[in-house]
Amino acid sequence: MLSMDKNMLPRAYVNKFTQSQYNAPPLSGPLVVRTFTRHFGKSPEQIYDRFDIRSTHAASIGQVHRAELNGRQLAVKIQYPGVGDSISSDLRLVKPFAFRLLGMSEKELNVYMQEVEERLLEETDYELEVRRSQEFSQACSHLDHVVFPKYYPELSGPRVITMGWLEGLHLKEFLQTNPSQEVRDRLGQALWDFYNFQQHELRAVHADPHPGNFLITPEGNLGVIDFGCIKELPDEFYRPFFSLILSDVLQDREKTLRAFRELEMILPQDSPAEIEFYYQAYREMIGLFARPYATSEFDFSNASFFEELYGYGERISKMPEFKQARGVKHFIYVNRTNFGLYTILHDLKAKVRTDRYRPAAALNNGSTSPVQ
């Protein structure tokens, strides 16, 4: 299941889903006002010193307005009405499209669908998002060169989030300014630290490394602006998966097979030939995926690594053996997160130290020792 092919599932889903929301015309001024009076009993002009009734841009399931309070610049995110209710029905509409795209049967994909639906539903819960944003920005506050907007729970509600306005450029715009290698490396390191600290220390990760969710501030820091999608990594997934990547388990066929079985990449009913096939295929994939971890430093501008990665994805997407459900559901978002991270680092052409925030003890279940 670790295939990049299925890694497309959430993306295809989310794209189709957000497309239907983006196509919605922007909220009218009166509906914006109404959203506020409904929740706060006050209009935006009574809450903020200044509130721009026209939105500055669309967010995935809402729109963003600029506001000011006590001299502080704020970004106010407002959700389109009815988004939450329409997720299930919208996803049903997208389903056949996803099946065609992946060439799988409905039954096999249902487990993954549910996972995606759960995440999307969480994304519509703005109160949850504010809570998580505060928790995560607090937990990650010690990371170098990573900054977060301040969140204002008292000015947030089920359909409104108020946060500080982060000034900065999106990745694409930033790259056009021709930044120096030093700045690229610094940002790449910030990204790497941010993700690996979350995965290994918090065991829950910002699972939407979409370039739009980051801003490069004028000071050259990485601003993280959206905690709508969080994937928690339960121990029964975390341990076998990262033991494959961060220790020498992969050198040992028996231990590797055990991990693959735990992760349902190899199933109990598989024949010896099938076991051999999937063992080889997944071993190659994990080996690729783990490569940045194999050394203490990795250069993500390395084109040949990405060619290999995409080439592998291309290859297995054509194999009928991978047109079936394999692997626990957690792979969907963990893959999306890490491949997303690699892709952004590649765009940045950053060289990063990959030995930071590596878990050691947690993975070491007595028989294996982490690679140094």
Binding site for another protein (CB under 8 A): 25, 27-31, 33-34, 37-38, 43, 45, 53, 81-82, 85
Q: Report d(CA 162, CA 158) in Å as an integer.
A: 11
* Residue number with CB closer to another protein (25 or 320): 25
Cα separations (Å) of 23 from 2, 26, 70, 83, 214? 32, 9, 35, 13, 23
Minimum Å gap between C-beta 51 and another protein is 9
Q: How far is the CB of 28 from another protein (least distance, A)?
A: 5
Complex with another protein: residue 53 or 360, whichever CB lies closer: 53
Dihedral-angle region of residue 41 (phi above 0 means left; psi in -120 to 50 means alpha; beta otherwise): left
- Report the residue number, 39 or 92, with the smaller CB distance to another protein: 39
User: What are the structure tokens assigned to 38, written together?
Assistant: 């409904």
Q: How far is the CB of 35 from another protein (least distance, A)?
A: 8
* Total length of the chain: 372
Least distance to another protein, CB of residue 15, Å: 23
Q: Is 6 within 8 Å of 333 (Cβ atoms)? A: no
Q: How far is the CB of 31 from another protein (least distance, A)?
A: 5
Which 3-state string (H, E, C) describes 160-220? EEEEECCCCECHHHHHHCCCCHHHHHHHHHHHHHHHHHHHHHHCEEECCCCHHHEEECCCC
Nearer to another protein by C-beta: 45 or 232? 45
Task: Considering the complex, state which of residue 3 and residue 124 has its C-beta at the smaller distance from another protein.
Answer: 124
**CB-wise, 34 or 358, nearer to another protein?**
34
Neighbours of 304 (CB within 10 A): 8
The count of C-alpha atoms lying within 13 angstroms of the C-alpha of 97, restricted to the half-sphere facing its C-beta, is 15
Q: How far is the CB of 88 from another protein (least distance, A)?
A: 14
Find where tokens 């919208």 sit.
90
Question: Nearest distance from residue 82's CB to another protein, in Å?
Answer: 5
In the complex, the smallest distance separating the C-beta of residue 57 from another protein, rounded to whole angstroms, is 19
The whole-angstrom separation of Cα 67 and Cα 48 is 7
> Among residues 38 and 346, whose Cβ is nearest to another protein?
38
Of 247, 269, 224, which is closest to residue 361 (Cα–Cα)?
Answer: 247
Cβ closest to another protein, residue 46 vs residue 110: 46
Question: Is the Cβ of residue 52 or residue 355 nearer to another protein in the bound state?
Answer: 52
Q: How far is the CB of 22 from another protein (least distance, A)?
A: 16
Whether 260 and 237 have beta carbons less than 8 Å apart is answered as no
Cβ nearer to another protein, comparing 37 with 280: 37
| Backbone CA torsion sign across 76, 81, 85, 88 | negative
Nearest approach, Cβ of 37 to another protein (angstroms)? 6
* Rounded-to-integer distance, Cα 336 and Cα 94, Å: 19
What do you get for the CA distance between the two ends of the chain, in Å?
Answer: 28
DSSP string, 264-313: TSS-TT--HHHHHHHHHHHHHHHHHHHHHHHSSEEETT-HHHHHHHHHHH
